[in-house]
Amino acid sequence: MTSEVVENECEFYSKAEKYWKDVPATVDGMLGGYGHISSIDINSSRKFLQRFLRDGPNRTGTTRALDCGAGIGRITKRLLLPLFKTVDMVDVTEDFLTKAKSYLGEEGRRVRNYFCCGLQDFSPEPNSYDVIWIQWVIGHLTDNHLSDFLKRCRAGLRPNGIVVIKDNMAQEGVIMDDVDSSVCRDLDVVRKIIRRAGLHLLAEERQENFPDEIYHVYTFAMR
């Protein structure tokens, strides 16, 4: 539980904001020096997502997606814009969203909104998104704020829409990272928070072909 490792909630959030203000607005900066894994990450995410976009009675639509913790738009550019008509981006760091406008190029015209906001304070517009993609950012939310945010995401989905979390998973318990002021939870803790938010897991997958020295990464789809 984050209540056991986060001593001061305000400090937890302000330290994270300060950390990201000093990170270069590059793909390598977004990935903590692991820019070389970006293509492996995107290709796996695309395969995972496309199983929900295929034809069928419960097919997820492709009208609008939301990229949470979007940074400069790495996922928006390479995963979401090729699959969805429009994309919204939300990130706490204004400089990253400013950089996104040039990084995304011509296709960036299909980004409707750039929301500068921490996810603990962000509410997706109700009944608006086919996919809400949340990658490498849940560690910056306390358990209660993550659960509440997921509830708001649930309300933000269109019919047959899905919420996707892709993130690092600890081997056991909750581990604090004082450098970027984030936590890493184990699978059981994340599943409990998902259930607490009233969401039902549709799929869960471990990322393959990442470097051995980093945390295991899992992707969850839910609605």
Can you read off the two tokens belonging to residue 18?
């300060």
22 DSSP 8-state letter: T
Can you read off the two tokens belonging to residue 213?
């020295």
Q: Find out whether 121 is annotated in a ligand binding site.
A: no
Q: Compute the chain's Rg from CA coordinates.
A: 16
Residues in contact with 116: Cβ distance below 8 Å, sequence separation at least 6, in sequence order: 90, 91, 92, 93, 94, 97
Q: Find out whether 93 is annotated in a ligand binding site.
A: yes
Torsion of CA 62, 41, 76, 135, to 10 degrees: 90
Q: Find out whether 69 is annotated in a ligand binding site.
A: yes
Q: Find out whether 80 is annotated in a ligand binding site.
A: no
Distance CA 32, CA 177 (A): 13
Distance CA 212, CA 169 (A): 13
Question: Strand pairing of 129-135 and 157-169?
Answer: parallel
Starting at the edge strand found earlier in the chain, the sheet holding 129-135 runs 111-116, 86-91, 64-68, 129-135, 157-169, 216-222, 201-206
Q: Find out whether 135 is annotated in a ligand binding site.
A: yes
Q: Find out whether 50 is annotated in a ligand binding site.
A: no
Q: Binding site for S-adenosyl-L-methionine: what residues are annotated? A: 69, 74, 91-93, 119-120, 135
Q: Binding site: what residues are annotated? A: 69, 74, 91-93, 119-120, 135
